[in-house]
Amino acid sequence: MKLTKIKGTYTDLGKIELENTKTINWTDLTDEKPVEIPFGSNVELVISFDENDFLTGKDGIIWASYDSRQIDIIKNSLFAQNIITNVQMINLGNRKMCLLKVNDQKDVDEAINFVWKSNNGLRLKPDWSYSDGETNKSFEQWLSGH
């Protein structure tokens, strides 16, 4: 579980001004009645989320994508380097995610370096670095040789 904290000030009934000067309304967050605290009070919003471990090599998983074509091409590129992988499909919310898993633990670091970590590798960014529905530009650039 990972937490992100956002600080602000309660400026008016149901209004919170964040440190970045953006204002959010209590009703944008919940249908509950706004809290009754003095205006000027410091507030902290905490967002918690499960951080999926798709890039670290945990359990052999070194890459993930919503695009099965991307996974197949990376899988074949690793195979050309004698790194054997397999693909697993999972449901993440209402989306399907393809996971690329290295079969031999001794190859995990080399595969990670090749796919995204090393400047000598593909230098790919994960799909979630881009807006929903947008293609993975780093992957497309690699495919086109740029």
Task: Specify the CATH number of the domain 58-128.
Answer: 3.30.70
Q: What is the pTM of this model?
A: 0.74
In this structure, of 25-34, 44-53, 100-109, the range with the lowest mean pLDDT score is 44-53
Average pLDDT value over all residues in the chain: 93
Over its C-alpha atoms, the chain yields an Rg (Å, rounded) of 21
Report pLDDT for 51: 67
The pLDDT of 87-114, averaged and rounded, is 95
Domain ranges across the chain: 2-49, 58-128
Which residue, 107, 4, 135, is CA-closest to 126? 135
Q: Which helix (H) or strand (E) holds 75?
A: helix 68-79
Q: Using one digit for the tens of pLDDT, what is the confidence trace for 62-95?
A: 999 999 999 999 999 999 999 999 999 999 889 9
